[in-house]
Chains A and B, each alone.
Chain A
Amino acid sequence: MSETFQLDGEDVPFAPAQTVLQAALAAGRYIPHLCYHPEFKPHGSCRVCTVQANGRTQAACTLPAAAGLEVESASEEMNALRRTLVQMLFAEGNHFCPSCEKSGNCVLQALGSDLGVLTAGFRHFYPDRPVDASHPDILLDFNRCILCELCVRASCEVDGKCVFALSGRGLDKHLIVNAASGKLVDTDIALFDKAMEVCPVGVILKKRVGFAVPIGQRRYDQRPISAQALDDAPRVSAASGECAACEGSGAVSALALTEPASSFGEETP
């Protein structure tokens, strides 16, 4: 860890094959992010972690760390961009926070709150996305899906099941399940799968445990996400880095560092 790059004017050390976001988090420096998860290969689809690196805007999660790189992240310009991206995700899906079981534990909501998203900003798309309640123990509410592919990656790389994948394209891109019927009940998903715990928003929910912790006492009700994200990183990766179903097969290698920390989608604070 001898080499460093600059993040907002301060030196950040990095290990070979680390990306800017991975190195920053390991060094206790927060860059807002959404589709990145410390246990999986960086993916680069949500673009919330966009930073200015040597004058060019790039996603920090997939940008390889390099000596001498000058990265600007905490600027108003970058945060304004992130606000807009979060607003876009809110406009794209159907997000009704007050009635959502994930409220207070939702990464999208927490990011919005932290970044100061106070208005919708855009016209809502109000897409028609029926829920899948076919499974006796699990509910899929696609209205909230932000297409981060964490469940796709977890199911393929950790669970070895590939229960989830993406189909369609553009605005029609959507999550599908691995069954001819298109119903979750016909897949081999199980309650203790990794895929059950990675959803940053409220798509994949366990039935009959809703609102066990009252809103107001949940994870991001306690402390903002910028303070908590550092608890998550870095930690041991159980992921293979080879996903048979997901997109964006960048060759950035998954990191396997030590220091396990609390779970990403934890229910209780």
Chain B
Amino acid sequence: MTQALQTILARHQFNPTRLLQILREAQEALTWIAPEYIDTLAAGLGLPRARVEGVAGFYRFLHTDAPCRYRLLFSDNITDRMLGNQDLLTTLCEMLWVERGHISEDGLASVDTTSCTGMCDQGPALLVNGWAIPRLSRERLARIAELILAQAPVETWPRELFAVADNLRRADILLGNPLQPGDALRVALPLGRATLLEEIKHSNLRGRGGAGFATGLKWAACRDAAGDHANARRYVVCNADEGEPGTFKDRVLLSTQADLVFEGMTVCAYAINGSQGFLYLRGEYRYLLAPLNGVLARRREAGLLGRDILGHAGFDFDIEIHLGAGAYVCGEESALIESLEGKRGIPRNRPPYPVSHGYLQCPTTLNNVETFCAAALVAAKGADWYRGIGTVKSAGTKVLSVSGDCARPGIYEYPFGVTVRQVLADCGAENTLAVQISGPSGVCIAADEFDRRIAFEDLATAGAFMVFDRSRDMFEVARNFAHFFAHESCGFCTPCRVGTAMLRSTMDKIAAGHGTLYDLAEIEKLDRVLNQSAHCGLGHTACNPTLDTMKRFRPTYERRLKSLDFEPAFDLDGALAAARRMTGRDDTGAHLSTEIEA
């Protein structure tokens, strides 16, 4: 055991900024993070023990509770629910004789849920020891249960269980690009740094992670930032922590366009004079790590990474992949940087911003996977060409992750300006009630808004496009999202830590038939508090799905409400549930009437 840990520590040069990677590898080797491993790692890294324990306790995919050979986590996005993940979860629990959320007594298996794993186009999905299995069915679960009961190591399971489809439905300039590795760099390097940066600015490229900040401005600010030390290194970080429920475009970009992603990062490194790159890959995409490392190795061999790239003396740059471990908040840029530094993924106080004080307080350019792809396209084919595509304010194309009630879920790339109606027609959606654009932190729109356009000036999006037809209950959609935010709040600031939990319990109260008009007013109050005082965007947007659906689909809330103005959250009959279980009774005499006569 200690030998395994020492090997991992040595591989990371006993460097505390590698703590998350070390913990992740330790768990893969030893199935969990035992208290004594924490002692060993803390000693090896020269860190307080509590710091190591605190980091291990932050990430959902790091387990400090007990050893367990097979940890199965069902993706619990609303799209998984619509495809029946709840029943499948119960079925698997029965097959394995385990209770949901508890490790079986022999330490063999545990079954629980996790936030959206980015397989919405081929759900329901789960992770087994971190490896993704999509398209779950009773038959596939039976095979999985059989393998687990036979104690077959996950490495030996049939590969087709783990096969992930790309579901590429519509390609445009990005997904259909004819570029070969190095093509963009061969154009960009001769331009020189200044001209290249002007091209990026002139292209009107804006960040694809959702916020839409001008990419050229960000790069220029990073290039010009002094940093805290003389000759500070500059870093290029690719945000592949695609955690927004309903988003899976980066998964497909990384599996089909990995060269373009790395090429974009290298173009950026040249423009800002960066020397080291990181790709922060969400833990759910663990299965992409080896293929991506393979692409990096090929690029090094081809002289596209490493020293004197493409013979350009003095242009040294390389890229390393860091894996996340189950924390949506790490998609926030400063939290991602904290996580890269081996810490708990808490968003930093800003200013200063990452462009001047990012990774290790050095100037850092952090962009989305799709942004780097687009930057490579701009470098290869020119700003004028690029800004001619899309709308005046939104240049280029947008890759959408379409899921939910439609015949052809998958990846659709459109020039900016496409209407929601067009996308719905292309994906084969019928009787559509609503579309959730850009995930829970985005916006929910109803049928009268389907002529709105995907563009920064109208419906800005990070890519999620979840379709709900008329058979769906939008209250349940919002409730699922409320649970998501409470599950993913980092807990740093009071309003988000407490407020998201309050929103969750209020939605559960309404779902249980105990809600009143007072509760709807409370939700609006929570929204104001979170908007005004939360530390980061997670808290600011946490109430959006609830408010959006309350506004557009109010009857689905109202039909659940009691006619009273106030109803206590305490459920007198519910409180007797434990006593009923203990006595084995469930007759009418064992129940209190919860109906209050007016």
Chain B: which residue is nearest A156 at the CB level? B48
Chain B: which residue is nearest A173 at the CB level? B491
Q: Which residues of B contact A170 (CB under 8 A)?
A: 486-491, 497, 500-501
Q: Which residues of A contact B39 (CB under 8 A)?
A: 180
Q: Which residues of A contact B489 (CB under 8 A)?
A: 169-171
Q: Are B505 and A123 in contact (CB under 8 A)?
A: yes
| Residue B569 CB within 8 A of the other chain | yes
Q: A169-B57, A169-B489 are in contact. Are A244 and B47 (CB under 8 A)?
A: yes
Q: Are A44 and B338 in contact (CB under 8 A)?
A: no
Q: A169-B58, A171-B501, A250-B348 are in contact. Are A179 and B494 (CB under 8 A)?
A: no
| Residue A185 CB within 8 A of the other chain | no
Chain B: which residue is nearest A152 at the CB level? B50
A255 to B543, CA, bound (A): 37
The 8 Å CB contact of A47, one of B490, B491, B495, is: B495
Interface size on A, residues (CB 8 A): 49
Q: Are B53 and A167 in contact (CB under 8 A)?
A: yes
Q: Are B493 and A47 in contact (CB under 8 A)?
A: yes
- Closest CB-CB distance, B329 to chain A, in whole Å? 8
Q: A50-B532, A171-B486 are in contact. Are A162 and B348 (CB under 8 A)?
A: no
Chain B contact residues: over half helix, strand or loop, or mixed? helix
Of the 9-residue stretches B164-172, B216-224, B349-357, B458-466, which lies at the interface with chain A? B349-357
Q: Are A168 and B50 in contact (CB under 8 A)?
A: no
A45 to B486, CA, bound (A): 17
- 8 Å CB contacts to B: which residues of A150-194? 156, 162-173, 176-180
Chain B: which residue is nearest A164 at the CB level? B50
Chain B: which residue is nearest A43 at the CB level? B349
- 8 Å CB contacts to A: which residues of B28-84? 35-36, 38-39, 47-51, 53-54, 56-58
| Residue A237 CB within 8 A of the other chain | no
| Residue A248 CB within 8 A of the other chain | yes
Q: Are B58 and A252 in contact (CB under 8 A)?
A: no
Pick from B47, B344, B498 the residue with the most CB of A within 10 Å.
B498
| Residue A100 CB within 8 A of the other chain | no
| Residue B234 CB within 8 A of the other chain | no
Q: Are A165 and B50 in contact (CB under 8 A)?
A: yes
A169 to B457, CA, bound (A): 35
A164 to B338, CA, bound (A): 20
The 8 Å CB contact of B535, one of A44, A123, A163, A245, is: A44
Of the 9-residue stretches A1-9, A83-91, A109-117, A209-217, which lies at the interface with chain B? A83-91
- Closest CB-CB distance, B241 to chain A, in whole Å? 15
| Residue A236 CB within 8 A of the other chain | no
Q: Are A248 and B349 in contact (CB under 8 A)?
A: yes
A122 to B500, CA, bound (A): 13
Interface size on B, residues (CB 8 A): 52
A45 to B493, CA, bound (A): 4
A178 to B42, CA, bound (A): 11
Q: Which residues of A contact B351 (CB under 8 A)?
A: 64
- Closest CB-CB distance, B96 to chain A, in whole Å? 26
Chain B: which residue is nearest A77 at the CB level? B532
A166 to B497, CA, bound (A): 14
| Residue A147 CB within 8 A of the other chain | yes
| Residue A222 CB within 8 A of the other chain | no
A177 to B381, CA, bound (A): 57
0 or 1 for each of A219-256: is its CB under 8 Å from B? (1 = yes): 00000000000000000000000001101111110000
0 or 1 for each of B327-353: is its CB under 8 Å from A? (1 = yes): 100000000001000011011111110
A125 to B35, CA, bound (A): 29
Q: Which residues of A contact B493 (CB under 8 A)?
A: 44-47
Q: Are A125 and B533 in contact (CB under 8 A)?
A: no
| Residue A18 CB within 8 A of the other chain | no
| Residue B525 CB within 8 A of the other chain | yes
Q: A170-B490, A170-B491 are in contact. Are A92 and B497 (CB under 8 A)?
A: yes
- Closest CB-CB distance, B501 to chain A, in whole Å? 5
Q: Are A168 and B58 in contact (CB under 8 A)?
A: yes
Q: Are B47 and A180 in contact (CB under 8 A)?
A: no
| Residue A25 CB within 8 A of the other chain | no
Pick from B488, B494, B534 the residue with the most CB of A within 10 Å.
B494
| Residue B130 CB within 8 A of the other chain | no
Q: Are A88 and B53 in contact (CB under 8 A)?
A: no
Q: A45-B535, A62-B349, A165-B53 are in contact. Are A247 and B492 (CB under 8 A)?
A: yes
Q: Which residues of B contact A (CB under 8 A)?
A: 35-36, 38-39, 47-51, 53-54, 56-58, 327, 338, 343-344, 346-352, 357, 361, 486-495, 497-502, 505, 525, 528-529, 532-535, 569
Q: Which residues of A contact B (CB under 8 A)?
A: 42, 44-48, 50, 57, 59, 62, 64, 81, 84-85, 88-89, 91-92, 122-123, 125, 146-147, 156, 162-173, 176-180, 244-245, 247-252
Report, nearest first, the 3 A-B pairs whose CB atoms are least far apart.
Answer: A250-B349, A167-B57, A165-B50
What are 5 inter-chain pairs, A to B, with CB distance below 8 A? A47-B535, A84-B525, A165-B48, A166-B54, A178-B50
For the A-B complex with A165-B50, A244-B51 known, give 19 more contacts whose Cβ atoms are closer than 8 Å: A44-B493, A48-B494, A59-B535, A64-B351, A84-B525, A85-B529, A88-B494, A88-B502, A88-B529, A125-B501, A165-B54, A167-B57, A168-B58, A171-B497, A180-B39, A180-B49, A247-B343, A248-B348, A251-B352
